[in-house]
Structure 1
Amino acid sequence: MTRDSQNKRDAGTGTRGVSSPARRFELKPLVAVAAAGAAILAFMLYAGAVMDGELHALDEWILRALREPGNLAEPIGPKWFEEAVRDITALGSTIVLTLAVIVVSVYLWIANAPAKAAFLIVAVTLGSMLNRLLKIGYARPRPDIVAHGTFVSSESFPSGHTTNSTIVYLMLGMMLARVEASYPVKLFIFGVCVAISLMVGLSRIYLGVHWPTDVLAGWAVGAAWVLVCWYVLLRMQPAGTRE
């Protein structure tokens, strides 16, 4: 085969394999920015409605529905289920999430990926700070119509457990899915991370330590922050690769 024919062959095969992912790569950041912007706008409108008390009746109805009739101190369901919910809510605690980030960061560092480790630490830290600022800004009191099923001390809106667990688990799922070639495996990884985030949020409602609207806000803030981080990650990634 001559050099000219080889060049034509490369141009006809290899170029298409690189240019197509590159074009998709350029579209993904735009989609991420648009989605993050829409999520932020929706959160602002939603937060305004919550703080104006427009959804308070729904909040109260849901919390009361999760309590034994005539006894607001007891959640519905057997005792073992209540203990299981406490175990689930611990997955969103500061200690568990911090340990998860430390373990994964150390692994990435040992695996000669210090940039990924730094990216994970910075993204999670800034996301947690954002949630704390929102809590201070809105300063919504915790639910007082039912007994709290676990100790709480900070403001209520948005839910810190929900926001931070959404950020951490979706960030880990996003980073793992980016380097995985198999789409079923990608779906499984991200599905597990989403499921954990959802369960942590629901556990906060069941235990009576957050209004349902606090948890919805936590999911929205966490998801929006992960979209922003996804945009940054895509801009840092070489076009046409999964690195």
Structure 2
Amino acid sequence: MRDTPRPEGTPGDIRPGPPQLRPGRALAHTTGASGSGSPHRSDSRPPQTPRGARPPDPDGRLGTTPPVPGRPTSLLLLLGLPALLFALITWQVVTDGPLVGLDETASRALVRPGPLSELLADLGNVQVAVPVLAVALAYVIWRHRRIGTDQWWLPGVSAALLMALVPVLVIPLKVLTDRPGTPAVPPATGYYPSGHTATAAIAYGAATLLLLPLLRSAGARRVLLVLCAGLNLGVGFGLTRRGYHWPLDVLASWCLGTILLTALWLFLSRSSRRTSAGTPSRRTGPS
């Protein structure tokens, strides 16, 4: 048998470098195929390298995969800041610190008794605020039971227990601080923190938290939030304007109310997620 002669090369024909493309190679692997701009891929997918597909962080560093969850800033503001401010105010009231002197000066400038301030202060009475919360609780419980929500009773009972917790927290603080009232009220002690402000904050705030998920319109939700904020600001203004409380009494109760309402919101959100995740599917097999 006759061997086919092979072309003989010379040492000068051997050149270092990447192999040259031959006419028979697939065009999909040529530079610029499918608009990728990469000589090694036939599509526009990112390269399969450990860091190639990671988007950078806002500060320019590569992100982690998956993202590491962190505590939301809003939660820190709604719990940490009010708690810190409440502790600071209480410390100043107990030790008769510099904030107390500023508080008394501000009160003397604010106190101007009148019918409007009396009316606004009355919105923090138990006889006014608690019935408003009771009506909201009844409506929320009825709505949840009507649509067949699991644990339909939980939101209403939680808000009612939170309302009952207000005197449990406020009355011992009044006894411990033993702060006297303003010159506009009869001589007495136990004005810190403001019970009327705390009652209004929890009653109107809890009612708002329970009603918000039931409102489909964003405009209606905004109106409800503005109404809640307006009622609480009105109560605080009325109490200080009438001279029933020092401004720090009202501010401390707002801080306490913010902490309690945030705790209620977190509890209801977690319960809602747990209920949704634990609801079994009604389809047990192919139809």
**So what's the TM-score if we normalise by structure 2?**
0.62
- Give matches, 1:183-222, under 5 Å: 183-222=218-257
Q: Is the 8 A contact 1:152 1:209 kept in 2?
A: no
Question: How many corresponding residue pairs?
Answer: 200
Q: Match of 1:133?
A: 172
Distance 1:222 1:61 in 2: 25
Could you list the runs of 5+ residues in structure 2 that have no partner in the other structure? 1-68, 146-151, 277-287
Q: Match of 1:103?
A: 135
Larger relative helix fraction: 1
1:104–1:29 Cα change, 3 Å: farther
Q: Is the 8 A contact 2:136 2:211 kept in 1?
A: no
Q: What's the offset of the Cα at 1:104?
A: 2.3
Residue identity over aligned pairs, in percent, reads 25
Choose from 146, 167, 184 the match for 1:147.
184
Q: Deviations over 1:55-92 (max 9, x none)?
A: 2222222222235xxxxxxx26xxxxx11221111111
The residue identity in structure 1 corresponding to 2:255 is: A
1:87–1:153 Cα change, 3 Å: farther
- Does residue 61 in structure 1 map to residue 105 in structure 2? yes
Q: Deviations over 1:94-127 (max 9, x none)?
A: 1112212222233334442432221221121113
Q: CA RMSD in A?
A: 2.8
Q: What's the offset of the Cα at 1:152?
A: 9.7
Q: What's the offset of the Cα at 1:153?
A: 7.1
Q: What's the offset of the Cα at 1:134?
A: 2.1
1:218–1:233 Cα change, 3 Å: same
Could you list the runs of 5+ residues in structure 1 that have no partner in the other structure? 1-25, 68-74, 77-81
Choose from 71, 78, 84 the match for 1:41.
84
1:194–1:221 Cα change, 3 Å: same
Q: Match of 2:66?
A: none
Q: Match of 2:282?
A: none
Q: Is the 8 A contact 1:174 1:190 kept in 2?
A: no
Q: Match of 2:161?
A: 122
1:28–1:99 Cα change, 3 Å: farther
Q: Is the 8 A contact 1:62 1:212 kept in 2?
A: yes
Question: Which stretch shows the higher mean deviation, 92-101 or 124-133?
Answer: 124-133
